């Protein structure tokens, strides 16, 4: 029995429609990863700094913002996996990790974490991230409140690792803080990467204050120091090592700053230099400057919070600890605690960087101890940025 010609044609047509519909359905669903190739809708901010330079505080300023997904020191995982390596050798691994995390692809941590089930608490300092303490990562707190580490930790540490990706995707800004970058060359591809909108906040601090603070936290920095020193650790005497490390840090700050100056203007606008001391003197103005740079609103509850933590009205457990005058006092502490011989030696290894960043050198013990001498210069670059 054969179908009449018309019916056969109709059947064929119907068949085609079904195929077409199926194809269309599959295309529109299975090819959904396509939009990933589009320019990112997220803004990426790298807080680039060094140890003991106030970067945890700046990290908190970003991390508490309700539009920000923040992670502190993701590259810690890279460094701790290769403790006998050197900063130089680990640069590219760090760079690639940062890129993946900016794109909210947390599978990159596979390479640096123990096999087996993971929680979000497997991430170094995860509870420093307000985003991992609020939805969609954890329902214990609302997104738009200031959340403290100590409150978050017991309530959110059981969340599975998958929530980290999910949380990251739900924010307009991804902010990472890193102290483990020593040159801009390794970062350059990220600045020009079309899938990223990278902004760099370069946070620096008076090397003499950094040095004093490092002396007081020597134990904590042992593994990092080992990596920064690299092969030099076999050649240098123990007492010379801290100066060598400071030299590496100062040199890298100088080079990063200079490398930025040689970039095209459009890229230069993605860089903001921030001095810790300016932040300590005027936290509200400087915070507003950083938010504006990143395209973030300075909401009233954040203004109150910044005011609170820098004036010592509680909430300062792991940020400035102290009120603004104390923060200033802390940033001056090296002036009466460091012996002038050490200061003098530091000024030799970090002199160029200090001149560039506007930290005046002292030429005697008297000058060092004389607190009426302001050693922070308002340098033309900063005046331009302020105006």
Ligand X SMILES: *[C@@H]1O[C@H](CO)[C@@H](O)[C@H](O)[C@H]1NC(C)=O
Q: Smallest gap, in angstroms, from Cβ of residue 134 to ligand X?
A: 15
Q: Least distance to ligand X from the beta carbon of 332, Å?
A: 7
Instruction: Report the nearest approach of ligand X to the CB of residue 292 (Å).
Output: 20
Which C-beta is closer to ligand X: that of 151 or that of 225? 151
Eight-state DSSP code of residue 40: P
Judged by beta carbon, residue 330 or residue 381, the one nearer ligand X is 330
Angle value at C-alpha 113, between 108 and 118, nearest 5 degrees: 95
Q: Which is nearer to ligand X, 180 or 335 (CB)?
A: 335
Q: Tell me whether residue 50 or residue 64 sits nearer to ligand X (CB atom).
A: 64
Query: For residues 52 and 213, what is the distance between their CA atoms, to the nearest angstrom?
Result: 6
In angstroms, the CA 356 to CA 352 distance is 6
Q: Which residues in this chain contact ligand X in the complex, by CB under 6 A?
A: 146, 301, 304-305, 308, 313-315, 329, 366, 370, 372-373
CB atoms inside a 10 Å sphere around CB 275: 22
Max CA distance (Å), the chain: 113
Q: 291 or 305, CB closer to ligand X?
A: 305
Q: In the Cβ-directed half-sphere of 200, how many Cα atoms lie within 13 Å?
A: 26
Identify the residue whose tokens are 């090397």.
207
- Of 83 and 313, nearer to ligand X (C-beta) is 313
Q: How far is the CB of 52 from ligand X (least distance, A)?
A: 18
List strand residue ranges (DSSP E) for 210-293, in order: 271-275
Encoded tokens for 283: 């936290």
* Interatomic CA distance for residues 36 and 55, integer angstroms: 31
**For ligand X, which is the closer residue by CB, 192 or 304?**
304
How far apart (Å, rounded) are the C-alpha atoms in residues 229 and 241?
8
Q: Sheet harboring 271-275: ordered strands across?
A: 68-72, 173-178, 43-48, 198-204, 271-275
Would you state the structure tokens that stand for residue 212, as one six-digit string? 């004093």
Helix/strand/coil for 359 = strand
Quote the least distance from Cβ 112 to ligand X, whole Å: 35
CB nearer ligand X, residue 125 or residue 329: 329
- Cβ-contact 60, 152 below 8 angstroms: no
Question: In the bound complex, what is the minimum distance in angstroms from residue 152's beta carbon to ligand X?
Answer: 15
Shortest distance, CB of residue 128 to ligand X, whole angstroms?
Answer: 17
């Amino acid at each position: 029995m054969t179908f009449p010609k018309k019916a056969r044609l109709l059947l064929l047509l119907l068949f085609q429609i079904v195929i077409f519909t199926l194809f269309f359905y599959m295309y529109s669903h299975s090819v959904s990863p396509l939009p990933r190739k589009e320019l990112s809708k997220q803004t990426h901010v790298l807080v680039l700094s060094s140890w003991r330079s106030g970067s945890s505080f700046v990290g908190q300023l970003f991390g508490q913002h309700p539009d920000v997904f923040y992670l502190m020191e993701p590259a810690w995982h890279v460094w701790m996996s290769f403790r006998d390596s050197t900063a130089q050798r680990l640069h590219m691994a760090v760079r690639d990790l940062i890129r993946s995390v900016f794109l909210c692809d947390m599978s990159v941590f596979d390479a640096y974490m123990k096999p087996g089930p993971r929680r979000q608490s497997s991430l170094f300092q995860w509870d420093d991230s307000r985003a991992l303490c609020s939805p969609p990562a954890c329902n214990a707190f609302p997104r738009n409140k200031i959340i403290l580490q100590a409150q978050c930790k017991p309530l959110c540490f059981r969340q599975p690792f998958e929530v980290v990706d999910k949380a990251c995707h739900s924010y307009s800004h991804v902010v990472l803080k890193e102290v483990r970058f020593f040159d801009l060359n390794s970062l350059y591809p990220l600045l020009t990467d079309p899938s990223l909108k990278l902004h760099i906040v370069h946070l620096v601090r008076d090397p003499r204050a950094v040095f004093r603070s490092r002396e007081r936290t020597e134990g904590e920095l042992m593994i990092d120091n080992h990596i920064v020193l690299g092969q030099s650790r076999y050649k240098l005497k123990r007492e010379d090592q801290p100066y060598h490390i400071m030299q590496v840090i100062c040199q890298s700050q100088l080079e990063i700053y200079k490398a930025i100056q040689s970039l095209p203007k459009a890229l230069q606008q993605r860089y903001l230099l921030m001095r810790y001391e300016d932040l300590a003197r005027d936290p509200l103005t400087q915070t507003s400057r950083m938010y504006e740079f990143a395209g973030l609103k300075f909401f009233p509850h954040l203004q109150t919070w910044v005011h609170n933590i820098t004036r010592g009205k509680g909430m300062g457990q792991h940020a400035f600890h102290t009120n603004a005058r104390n923060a200033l006092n802390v940033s001056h502490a090296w002036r009466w605690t460091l012996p002038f011989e050490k200061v003098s030696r530091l000024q030799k290894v970090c002199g160029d960087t200090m001149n560039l960043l506007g930290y005046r050198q002292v030429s005697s013990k008297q000058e060092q101890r004389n607190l009426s001498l302001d050693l922070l210069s308002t340098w033309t670059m900063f005046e331009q940025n302020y105006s």
